[in-house]
Amino acid sequence: MSLSKLFISTMTLTAIAAATVSSPAYASRNSQLTVQVTGLRDQRGQVCLSLFANPDGFPGDGSKAVQSRCVPITTSTVSVTFEQLSPGSYAVAILHDANRDAQANRNFLGIPIEGFGFSRNPTIRMGPPGFEEAAVQVSGSAANIQIRMNYLR
């Protein structure tokens, strides 16, 4: 291989590598978000958390969450860490799944009978908050938030 072809090949690889590193699609996924859940009524069941990176599906469609996790309740405060996150905006929805059926149970009027919560602890009005109301910024290596549980009955 001639020196000029070697130089061109090297420059091409360098350009591809630079484009890959600077491309948002390949943004560093080394951030984490630790969620501390407080205000649990009791230690029955589990706490299920869904982490959303955009409004699509927030807060009720966990299949559209970027990460979801259910953990048993062993103390009055539960901590869960979501890892391998790209920097950006995220919103968290939480359910105190007291009967471990993986559903947000409601009474005959449609009112939640299990506890719930959202990042940024927005005031609950006639329905759940929107993504922007609950969104938090994750940047750097670690972010920490606290979510207070809400119970309507």
What torsion, rounded to 10 degrees, do the Cα atoms 119, 69, 43, 124 define?
A: 30
Q: Record the pTM.
A: 0.80
Residues of the chain with pLDDT > 70: what percent?
82
pLDDT digits (tens, 9 = 90+) for 87-109: 999 999 999 999 999 899 999 99
In a domain, 19, yes or no: no
pLDDT at 126: 86
Element (DSSP H or E) covering residue 31: strand 31-38
In a domain, 22, yes or no: no
pLDDT digits (tens, 9 = 90+) for 22-70: 334 445 789 999 999 999 999 999 999 999 999 999 999 999 999 999 9
Residue 7 has pLDDT above 60, yes or no: no
Average pLDDT value for the chain: 85
In a domain, 123, yes or no: yes
55: CATH = 2.60.40
The CA distance from 35 to 52, in Å, is 13
pLDDT at 27: 55
In a domain, 17, yes or no: no
In a domain, 54, yes or no: yes
pLDDT at 153: 81
| Confidence category of residue 12, pLDDT binned at 50, 70, 90 | very low
In a domain, 55, yes or no: yes
Give the domain extent around 59.
28-148
The number of distinct structural domains making up the chain is: 1
pLDDT at 5: 38
109 residue type, one letter = L
DSSP 73-120: --SSSEEEEEEEEPSEEEEEEEEEETT-SSS--B-TTS-B-S-EEETT
